[in-house]
Structure 1
């Protein structure tokens, strides 16, 4: 479906054209029309499905075609992390280029000047606010934020926010909003706690399910079974044996991120780390360098596995086995996006075998076990089998040896760009300042 088949204002379509998008993704096809019609939405859709554009485009359309108070906050988008807030703000900047819609990203950090800029925008009025719950609560507690004119509320990555303990913050923020408003809730999963939250916030929502239950077939998945103390040596071997483009390495703990990044830097790899201990400015710079290909590898906690659109990832490595299949799918979903193929390696220690067996069970098939170089010495057998509730621990002493963009009025032929949900490659201004159209629109 082409974007000009939606009932979107020409100024919104011009922004989509400038970003090089022509066709909509399935979630956009299903979500955009009911949002334009004013319905509440409860959508199960994962990162990479184009859901960001699915709510931004119709909100933009309604803001410029329907009356609203220009000196107040009209739309509130609540997200779990500052990275996602910045990401959405940058995507919105491109899409709103040909409109007069203003926006600001409001997120945590110790920068006093940034807090002051946020305060100024929130008090003078801004069309769209993208915020993290904690930062918005901090502003609300100061007494100067008025949310009585909000017409559109979006909760993005709602399951992630609840996992991070933001339920009470979300309820408190919504208590400041007018009763008459449109509510849009997006979640990668739909557990009972999300449905309970939906009952409190949404009004007769239209339910849409676009969840990706399995990883794309084009992702090559392999697992290396080793002892925990062999992981770093294996990483150095794997990364030096084959040339990949951009690489993301996920660790479950910050301590592992720091240790692995330190060891890879000593081995002369182009690598940086990203986790919650880094200052906000440093995190943003690392992300920017990675997106712009100045940096080849990123070692990160799960903060990057959801919600951040980084294109052209050739290899994802799970240095630690994710806690469950959903996290596994989110992590490896960073690769093989759009029309590209990708590779995902998981390093499984003897203590992580049971976890990995449960992931294989959800996947419906075992992940290929790759050969571990003999130079690493003996490695544990993989004794866990998909379909077994237990499994994973090896008999004591049992080891095995290692082995070896287009015009909307002219339909292009052939392949089309997936529409709208991804960040443009160039950023015109730093998020955190109220964003109005001014320079050239971002190019895809």
Structure 2
């Protein structure tokens, strides 16, 4: 695979290596990353070691009669205000679903106290073994909605692959595997393996020679392993397709159909996405048995994201971006371009302007992609320039600004791009740089998404995208007034 290309490597700080990490000046003294959720944790400094790895976790030995909640190592409470995208629940608790205690421990230690709406709707149905077609907004807890029932149903006495999660990108596979590992760490031996393209096939073959319970994979790599007779999926009980609309697009649908042909006839299929085109309906009628349909998309865009556009010429874009950097209170930002070449050129220009910047795209070597992904998630850089590689499912809680340096061509891409901010009911800002060629596209996307993209004002109110911290969110305050907490209950997320 081609490495990232960089012109004039000695002309700009940090451009000596084609690794996507362009170094500007040190971060300002006032720059502090928001606490990242446990979903963003990496177990090693080099996230490349996670791809294709098999991880076994052991129980902490909680004995019968112990107050197990007192033994939990809860993350710092996230006191930021949240929108109704995640707070409009029925009031259920994770303990209502009769989950294993060890799984509950992992859930609470992730900082997840109460299920989100998609988790409330999905978990009990998935536990019953029924097929699911679920549609919910970006950043509202879809990963937890399928991973919790999936892990609950793993039988540690069986040493074969019991569940498989298919995702469209390597970065998303890495992220989902990390969440799985964190949630299952007290379960006494659940083995999770992530396998994607761009890594050593021989390493994956060696790992599959040992016990693996859950495989999280991109379609091309897992199909290769299946055809070689290494990955035996004929006894898979649960097949999950995350970002199902992308997996069933022309890029992947042939691979998906072939993968399914190797699985058992009677297996559970769970489809999750924010958008469901006609291709998903065709797949559903062919492969799903009386699926339970969940649709939480009363509106398409997240409530916490404020959207603006700035009308500029192509030559004015970099100057406009520089102005935004100087005026906005950015914790972390993701900046989208429509081509890999423009990603590299813009990242170089941002560095020349004096800002630290990483970049990532599909033509980079996998080890560089892993490093950029890991370091950006851990707050080592404020700005990331990327292609649509990063539009699918990537959850970085500290991103509060998304900038479309190049405006996307369709509403679906736009929806996924801006969904990188405002995660889990928090606030975010989406700014679009619009040229004369984009103006009709802008109107079309507004109409399709039934959303309002406003002209950018001279001053943007910080309360629209900068986290406001409260001792408790409004819902928690209401609950607190009506029924005091029981002793030992974990904090609200």
Contact 2:137 2:302 in 1 (8 A): no
Residues 319, 372 of structure 1: alpha-carbon distance in 2 compared, 3 angstrom cutoff: farther
Q: What are the superposed Cα offsets for residues 374-409 of structure 1, whole Å, 9 maximum, x if unpaired?
A: xxxxxxxxxxxxxxxxxxxxxxxxxxxxxxxxx997
Residues 29, 217 of structure 1: alpha-carbon distance in 2 compared, 3 angstrom cutoff: closer
Post-superposition shift, 1:210? 2.1
Distance in 2 between the 1:305 and 1:282 partners? 18
Q: Residue 399 of structure 2 aligns with which residue?
A: 313
Post-superposition shift, 1:53? 0.9
Post-superposition shift, 1:218? 3.2
Q: Residue 191 of structure 2 aligns with which residue?
A: 102
TM-score by length of 1: 0.80
Distance in 2 between the 1:276 and 1:225 partners? 29
1:173 pairs with one of 256, 259, 268:
259
Match status 1:37 vs 2:105: no
Residues 266, 199 of structure 1: alpha-carbon distance in 2 compared, 3 angstrom cutoff: same
The count of aligned residue pairs is 376
Match status 1:79 vs 2:170: no
Post-superposition shift, 1:229? 2.1
1:16 pairs with one of 93, 107, 113:
107
Post-superposition shift, 1:243? 3.3
Residues 408, 273 of structure 1: alpha-carbon distance in 2 compared, 3 angstrom cutoff: farther
Contact 1:69 1:149 in 2 (8 A): no
Other structure's SS at 2:164 match:
strand
1:132 pairs with one of 191, 197, 218:
218
Post-superposition shift, 1:197? 1.0
2:373 pairs with one of 283, 287, 292:
287
Distance in 1 between the 2:486 and 2:257 partners? 41
Distance in 1 between the 2:357 and 2:385 partners? 7
Distance in 2 between the 1:408 and 1:75 partners? 36
Distance in 2 between the 1:96 and 1:150 partners? 19
1:188 pairs with one of 274, 280, 284:
274
Structure 1 portions without partners, runs of 5+: 374-406, 418-444
Residues 309, 409 of structure 1: alpha-carbon distance in 2 compared, 3 angstrom cutoff: farther
Residues 235, 164 of structure 1: alpha-carbon distance in 2 compared, 3 angstrom cutoff: farther
Match status 1:163 vs 2:256: no
Q: Residue 140 of structure 2 aligns with which residue?
A: 49
Q: What are the superposed Cα offsets for residues 93-130 of structure 1, whole Å, 9 maximum, x if unpaired?
A: 01000112111001010x43xx2221122233310000
Q: Residue 22 of structure 2 aligns with which residue?
A: none
Aligned-residue RMSD, C-alpha: 2.1
Residues 59, 242 of structure 1: alpha-carbon distance in 2 compared, 3 angstrom cutoff: closer
Q: What are the superposed Cα offsets for residues 155-204 of structure 1, whole Å, 9 maximum, x if unpaired?
A: 11111123351111011111111112111111222221101111222111
Structure 2 portions without partners, runs of 5+: 1-91, 460-484
Distance in 1 between the 2:108 and 2:389 partners? 31
Residues 199, 183 of structure 1: alpha-carbon distance in 2 compared, 3 angstrom cutoff: same
Distance in 2 between the 1:254 and 1:344 partners? 21
TM-score by length of 2: 0.72
Contact 1:123 1:144 in 2 (8 A): yes
Match status 1:28 vs 2:119: yes
Q: What are the superposed Cα offsets for residues 64-87 of structure 1, whole Å, 9 maximum, x if unpaired?
A: 4xx7631x2111111111111101
Post-superposition shift, 1:212? 6.2
Q: What are the superposed Cα offsets for residues 356-388 of structure 1, whole Å, 9 maximum, x if unpaired?
A: 111222354542212689xxxxxxxxxxxxxxx
Match status 1:338 vs 2:424: yes
